[in-house]
Amino acid sequence: MADAVRPHPDVVAFLNRVADEGREGDGFLDEMAGLPGGPEARAAIRGYLDTYGMRCVGEIDITRTRWSERPAALVPVLLGNVRNFAPGEGGRRFERGNRESYQKERDVLARLRALPGGEGRAEETKRMIDRVRAFAGYREYPKYGMVNRYFVYKQALLREAGRLARSGVLREDEDVFFLRFRELEEVVRTGEVDAELVRERREAFRSHEALTPPRLLTSDGEVLNGRRRPADAPPGAMAGLAVSAGVAEGRARVVTEMARADLEPGDILVTAYTDPSWTPLFVTVAGLVTEVGGLMTHGAVVAREYGLPAVVGVDRATRRIRDGQRIRVHGTDGYVEILGSASRP
C-alpha cells in the first residue's frame, strides 16, 4: 500500500488529514479517488481490505470494529511506512532475511559435519529445516479462517439487529451484542426484548473494561503479588520476562491504540499487549516492551521472528515509561532501563 501511495504528494497530504481527523467509515477512499494518483492508491487499499479487512485489534471479540468497517485505523501505520521506507522496501527485507536464513543454515550444517558422526546429524537437521520452511506458514491459517468467519457472523448479526432496531424492538444495533444467542432467537420470534437486561449488561461491560486484571491468578482464584528483579539488573530497572534476546536502545513510544501509532525507525514500542493486528508496526521498531505476555504470546513470538529484543510482563510499563524517554531493552536478561528524556521530533 505504501508503494502505491508514496509517489503521490496530494494523496499523502490527504491521508495525513484523514489521520488527524480520525475519520469513520470508508467514505474517504472515494474522496481520495479524485486526486492525482488517488485511483491507484484506493485500489491498493481496497485490495488489502479484501484480504485482511476482517482483522482488527482484539479481533477474537466479535464486537470489535474491523478494518474494513473503519479503514482509517490503518492510515497512521500506512503513513509511517511511506515516511520511513523507500519504495520496494518490503521485497528487499524479505530477500535480505532469506539470504541470512540460508547462510545460517550453511553455518549450522558445517558445524554439525565437523562433529563425530556429523554427516548423519547434518542430514537429519537439513530435513527438519526444510520441513519448517515448507510448513511453518500454515500455522496462520486456522486463525485467519476463524477471524474470517467471525466477520461473517458479525455482519449477519448486525443485519438482523438493524431490522430489529428499525422496527423499534432494539434501541440500537449494538444492543444485539448484549444478548445470548437463545435470547436473540426469542427476541426475533416474539418481537420483544428485556430492555433492562440489555442496559444492565451494557453497564456491567463498561465497569469490567475499567478493571485492571491481576498479573497472576491461580486456578483456585488466588491473586499472587510480588516484586522481582533479575540478579544482574541495575538499581531502578524494570523487571520483566526475557522473550527475545539482544539489547536495544532508543526512544520509547508508548502506544495504547494502534490507530494512533507514530513510529520511526529505531523507536521502541511500549504497549499493554499486542495481537496479530499490531504486526505491521514491528517492521519499524527496534525493540518491544509489553505489560502482558509470556514466551509464546504474540508479541514475544513476532519479536523473535523479526530479531527484535523484547521484554514482556513489565508491570505498568505504559505508565512508568513516558512517551519520548530514552530506554534500553535487555531482551536476554529480562529488564528495561530508563536512560533519560528525549524530545519528540
The residues annotated with a catalytic role in the active site are 298
Residues 130 and 108 sit within 8 Å (Cβ to Cβ): no
Residue bearing cell 537429519: 124
Helix (H, G, I), strand (E, B) or coil at 272: coil
From the centroid of its chain, how far is CA 70?
A: 16
Give percent helix, percent strand, percent coil of the chain, each to the nearest 5: 50, 10, 35
Residues 256 and 271 sit within 8 Å (Cβ to Cβ): yes
Q: What is the DSSP string of 159-216?
A: HHHHHHHHTTSSSSGGGGGGS-HHHHHHHHHHS---HHHHHHHHHHHHHHHT----S-
Q: Helices 9-21 and 75-84 sit at what angle, rounded to 10 degrees?
A: 140
Indicate the pairing of strand 268-271 with strand 247-254.
Answer: parallel
What are phi and psi for residue 335, nearest 5 degrees?
Answer: -150, 165
DSSP 314: -
| Distance from C-alpha of 123 to C-alpha of 148, rounded to nearest angstrom | 40
